[in-house]
Structures are given as C-alpha cells and as structure tokens.
C-alpha cells in the first residue's frame, strides 16, 4: 500500500529498499521528547489563535500527554513504515484519539517540525556539555591550586626550554577550555531561535502566532524568514566547530599525558581506573582512555566536515539531504560528553611524580636563559650574553657539569661580570619565581591566575 501520511497522489508503494533508505526513525526517535514538546506548543498556539476549537485542542493535548507518559515509561513502539519520528508520533496519536489527530498538522510541515526538534535538542545538550566542561575546569583549577610550586621543564620543540610551574601548564588548558565554554554558549544562543510556523518553506495562510509557540518552547527569538528557518543548519555547525575545537584541546592534553606516562618521561602515573593492561605483556599499563579520546577527535572533525559538505550545494529551502544533519550531531554530542567526563576523571586521579619532574631540571641547562638575563641585567647586550652562555653550555656538556655546579672561577673565565649572587638565579625555583611578567609562570602570577579562575568558576 502507499504511505498513509502522504500517499494520496501515489498508486504504488515504495520498495522495501527505498523505505529502508528513506527512513530516519531508526535515529530520529532520539527526538521523540522534543517532537512531543513541539507538537504541544503548536496545538496550544492553534487553540490560542482560534484556528482549532478548544474541544479539539483538549483532545489533542490529552493524546500528546499520554504519548509523553508512554515515552517516559519506554512503551512507545516505532515503525519504519512511518518513516520518521514526526509521522510515527502522529500515527500513534491517531491510535490514541482517532481522526481528530489529523488536525494537529494544520499550519505546520515536517520541515519546520524537524528543525524545531533539533533546535530544542541542541539547546538542551549544549547546556549539559557546558556543565561537564565547567566540571573539568574545576578539576584543572583544583589541581593547579595544589601544584603552584611543582616544578617541571617547559618545552618548545619538545626540547627542555625553561623551568615552569606545573600549575602554569595546567592553567594554560584552563584558558583553552574556558574559550571552549564560551564557544558552546555562543552555539547555544544560535540554537535559541524558533523555526516553528515557517511551515514547509513559505509560511502559512492560517493566522498563526509564532511568538506564542516560541515562548511555549522557551525560545527567545523566532526566525524572521521562513525559507531560512527550514534550511538553516548554521547552529549545528556552530556546535560542531566548538566540538571539534574542544576535542582538539583534549587531544593535545591527552598526547602529553601519554608521553609523560612513558618510562622515558616518567612524570605521571595514571590511576588503575583509567589505564588498561595487555593480554600478552604482563608488565603493561596502557593509556587507552587518553589514546581513545585522541582518536575520537578525528571522528568529531569528520562530523563537522560531513555537515559542511552536505550543505554546500543545497538549493533553498528544504532538501532531503538535510536529514543527514542528525547522526553526526548525535554522535558528536555523545562523544564530546563522554570524553569530557572521562578526561576529567583521568586528570583528577593521576599521580604527578613531582620528584621526577624536578629531577629532569637538574642537569638539562634549562637555566641558560637565566644566566643570559643575569648578564644582560649587568649591561651586556643580550645577544652577546647569549653567545657567552652558549659557550658555557658547550663547556658544561663536555665536562658533564650543569651551570649551577660550576665554580665561580669557571664561570668568570667566560664572563668576568658574573658574581657570587649568580647561584640564586640559577636555581630552577628562582627561574620560575622571577618570571613575574603578566601571564608568566612566576608563582605569584600563577596564584593570581588561579584566584581569577576560582572567582569566575564560582560565579558560573
């Protein structure tokens, strides 16, 4: 037979292959809650504007509320014969209340309906993602607060560069994730826009009140152009691009955790809870969780590109290609939420090997800049100071002698300006403490960063 909802002009039904290809109920059933919410707002608006009688309205509302209860109880049965969530719910409504159910679709189309569902879904999920991001930010700040004086090598080119505070390192990620939070909040604001009432593409002849239904659904704006309302997926791109960026940050952090958890670095140890073993090598403790977060970053990038590519050639207004917006977004939502909470747990429970971190600074010449700065402060042009210290480093490497272990005489052979007070600046702790420029790793600067972050997070 032909489709009940749109089959009037058809003589033949679709082949089972076409039905399976065309359907979206297998994934858009995830929008059942939003679809019922949208229908309730729509029918209330139809009654409010006197397009539907209060009696019909009450029957439809009663039926939709029954479906809500069945959804909550997990007893709703969907079928691919009804293609998508919209027609499945409408046919279930019909089973509940009979032919009056057919009046629900007055002044509405599945095109504005599916867009409404996705806007509601996205706003809700973005709220949850932001909450998880705030939880991660709190873990980072707590760890930073506990590690202001934990010293480590700061790297450029993955070579020891200058000593820094481990808290300073952590707070760099605080900044990145705070920007991510702002991006998710901006995506939430772009999802806050009601397409309901745009109908198929051109609006409707019925005297609807789009602001009424928008208010019912908690939207603060309504789309100002009906063609745009049914074809816009920018708010999903805003989410996906924020999702790709937060995953990129998580992935970089994971890469460092993976390296630092190696025998060679030995800066960290993952808790047993977030590490896995090998079925062949008994000694192994693998950072699978960190690797999987790094790996899953690729699929979230893919979902951003997939939607951009889907959209690039689409003529206005609705095209069925737009049904492809859902699976990637659902997957990105699930991936980001899972990765954020697993990452927070992994970070919270890993052990920082402070002694190993500090030991790596003992004979690595990462205090060479301190000596160059010391000489420059005595009036030697910095370029010249750099040359001299380079020669000292060369000498130290040849003799297996870090700068702080050279005698004053040895140092003075290279630069007579050097005095006994040089040893104070050569200690890694001093190298960190003295970097008091704004945003630098100096302990006091780091404490200020942490204080600002705590104040901000307590306000969130």
Nearer to ligand ARG (CB atom), residue 322 or residue 361 = 322
- 322 is a site residue for ligand ARG (CB under 6 A): yes
What CA–CA distance (Å, rounded) separates 153 from 151?
Answer: 7
Taking the complex as a whole, how short is the minimal distance between the CB of residue 47 and ligand ARG, in angstroms? Answer: 25
Residue 111 as a binder of ligand ARG (CB under 6 A): the answer is: yes
Q: Is 232 in the site for ligand ARG (CB under 6 A)?
A: no
> Which helix H or strand E contains 162, and what residues bound it?
strand 159-165
Nearest to 438, CA basis, from 446, 450, 426? 446
Catalytically annotated residue among 157, 279, 407, 437: 157
Helix (H, G, I), strand (E, B) or coil at 109: coil
Task: Check residue 199 for interaction with ligand ARG (CB under 6 A).
Answer: no
Q: Which residues contact 263 (CB under 8 A, 6 or more apart)?
A: none
- The residue among 228 and 255 lying less far from ligand ARG, judged by its C-beta, is 228
The one catalytic residue among 26, 79, 271, 278:
278
Cβ of residue 89: shortest distance to ligand ARG, in angstroms?
Answer: 12
Instruction: Tell me how long the chain is.
Output: 460
End-to-end CA distance of the chain: 56
Q: Which stretch, 66-74, 315-323, 348-356, 403-411, contacts ligand ARG (CB under 6 A)?
A: 315-323
Q: Which of the ranges 108-116, 173-181, 278-286, 287-295 carries the binding residues for ligand ARG, by CB under 6 A?
A: 108-116
Q: 110 vs 210, which CB is nearer to ligand ARG?
A: 110
Contacts of 357 (CB under 8 A, 6+ apart): 150, 151, 152, 153, 166, 267
Closest contact distance (angstroms) between CB of 85 and ligand ARG is: 7
Contact 195, 115 (CB under 8 A): yes
**Catalytic-residue membership of 278:** yes
Q: Burial level of 8, CB count in 10 A (0-12/13-18/19+)?
A: exposed
Using the minimum distance from each CB to ligand ARG, give the nearer residue, 92 or 133: 92
Residue 320 Cβ, how far from ligand ARG at the closest point, in Å? 5
State whether residue 120 is helix, strand or coil.
helix
86 is catalytic: no
**SS3 call for 361:** coil
Per CB under 6 A, the segment of 13-21, 293-301, 318-326, 442-450 that binds ligand ARG is 318-326
Q: Judged by CB, which is closer to ligand ARG: 150, or 193?
A: 193
Within residues 42-101, the interface with ligand ARG by CB under 6 A covers: 84
Segment lying near ligand ARG (by CB under 6 A), choices 107-115, 164-172, 268-276, 417-425: 107-115
Question: CB burial class (10 A; 0-12, 13-18, 19+) of residue 394?
Answer: exposed
| CB of residue 164 to ligand ARG, shortest distance in Å | 50
Structure tokens that stand for 217 in this block: 């659904």
Distance CA 228, CA 222 (A): 11
User: Min. distance of Cβ 184 from ligand ARG in angstroms?
Assistant: 24
Phi-psi region of 318 (alpha: psi -120 to 50; beta: other; left: phi over 0): beta
Report residue 219 CA to chain centroid gap: 23
Nearest distance from C-beta of residue 28 to ligand ARG, angstroms? 6
Could you say whether residue 323 binds ligand ARG (CB under 6 A)?
yes
Per CB under 6 A, 143 contacts ligand ARG: no
The candidate with the shortest Cα–Cα distance to 240, out of 299, 290, 172, 291, is 299
Out of 42, 108, 110, 168, which residue is the one contacting ligand ARG (CB under 6 A)? 110
Cβ(367)–Cβ(426) below 8 Å: yes
CB of 114 to ligand ARG, least distance (A): 4
164 vs 230, which CB is nearer to ligand ARG?
230
401-426 in b/e burial notation, b at 16+ Cβ within 10 A?
A: ebbbebeeebbeebbebbeeebbebb
User: Using CB under 6 A, which of the segments 110-118, 265-273, 407-415, 446-454 binds ligand ARG?
Assistant: 110-118
Which two three-digit tokens encode residue 337? Answer: 């939420």
Instruction: Report if residue 114 touches ligand ARG, rule: CB under 6 A.
Output: yes
Residue from 224, 320, 383, 437 in contact with ligand ARG (CB under 6 A): 320
Residue 34 binding ligand ARG, by CB under 6 A: no
CB of 307 to ligand ARG, least distance (A): 13
DSSP 321: G
> Does residue 125 interact with ligand ARG by CB under 6 A?
no
Place of tokens 């952090």: 253
Count the Cβ atoms, other than its own, within 10 Å of residue 389.
25
Give the nearer residue to ligand ARG in terms of CB position, either 7 or 54.
7
Decide whether 323 or 369 has the Cβ nearer to ligand ARG.
323
User: Using CB under 6 A as the criterion, which residues of the chain lie in contact with ligand ARG when the complex forms?
Assistant: 24, 28, 84, 110-111, 114, 320, 322-323
Catalogue the active-site residues.
157, 278
């Amino acid at each position: 037979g032909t489709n009940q909802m749109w089959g009037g002009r058809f003589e033949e039904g679709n082949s089972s292959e076409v039905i399976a290809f065309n359907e979206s109920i297998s994934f858009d059933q995830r929008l059942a809650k939003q679809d019922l919410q949208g229908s309730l707002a729509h029918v209330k608006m139809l009654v409010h504007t006197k397009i539907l009688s209060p009696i019909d309205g009450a029957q439809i509302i009663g039926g939709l509320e029954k479906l809500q209860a069945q959804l909550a109880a997990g007893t709703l049965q969907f079928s691919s014969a009804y293609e998508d969530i919209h027609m499945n719910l409408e046919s279930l409504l019909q089973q509940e209340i009979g032919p009056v159910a057919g009046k629900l679709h007055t002044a509405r189309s599945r095109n504005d309906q599916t867009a409404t569902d996705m806007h509601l879904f996205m706003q809700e999920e973005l709220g949850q993602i932001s909450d998880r991001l705030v939880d991660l930010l709190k873990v980072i700040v707590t760890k930073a607060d506990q590690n202001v004086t934990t010293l480590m090598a700061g790297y450029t080119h993955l070579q020891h560069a200058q000593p820094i505070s481990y808290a300073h390192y952590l707070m760099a990620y605080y900044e990145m994730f705070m920007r991510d939070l702002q991006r998710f909040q901006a995506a939430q604001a772009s999802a806050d826009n009601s397409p309901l009432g745009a109908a198929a593409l051109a609006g409707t002849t019925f005297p609807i009140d789009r602001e009424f239904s928008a208010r019912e659904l908690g939207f603060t704006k309504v789309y100002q152009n009906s063609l745009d309302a049914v074809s816009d997926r920018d708010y999903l791109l805003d989410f996906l691009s924020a999702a790709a960026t937060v995953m990129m940050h998580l992935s970089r952090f994971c890469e460092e955790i993976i390296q630092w958890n190696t025998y060679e670095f030995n800066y960290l140890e993952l808790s047993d809870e977030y590490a896995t073993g090998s079925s062949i090598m008994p000694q192994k403790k693998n950072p699978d969780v960190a690797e999987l977060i790094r790996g899953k970053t690729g699929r979230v990038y893919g979902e951003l590109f997939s939607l951009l590519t889907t959209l690039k050639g689409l003529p206005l207004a609705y095209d069925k290609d737009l049904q492809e917006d859902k699976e990637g977004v659902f997957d990105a939502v699930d991936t980001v939420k899972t990765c954020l909470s697993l990452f927070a747990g992994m970070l919270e429970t890993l052990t920082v090997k402070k002694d190993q971190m500090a030991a790596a600074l003992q004979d690595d010449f990462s205090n060479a800049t301190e000596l160059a700065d010391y000489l420059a402060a005595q009036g030697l042009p910095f370029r010249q100071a750099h040359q001299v210290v380079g020669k000292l480093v060369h000498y130290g490497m040849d003799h297996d002698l870090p700068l702080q272990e050279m005698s004053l005489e040895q140092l003075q052979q290279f630069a007579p300006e050097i005095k006994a007070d040089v040893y104070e600046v050569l200690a890694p702790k001093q190298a960190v403490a003295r970097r008091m420029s704004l945003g630098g790793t100096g302990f006091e600067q780091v404490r200020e960063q942490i204080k600002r972050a705590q104040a901000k997070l307590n306000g969130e």
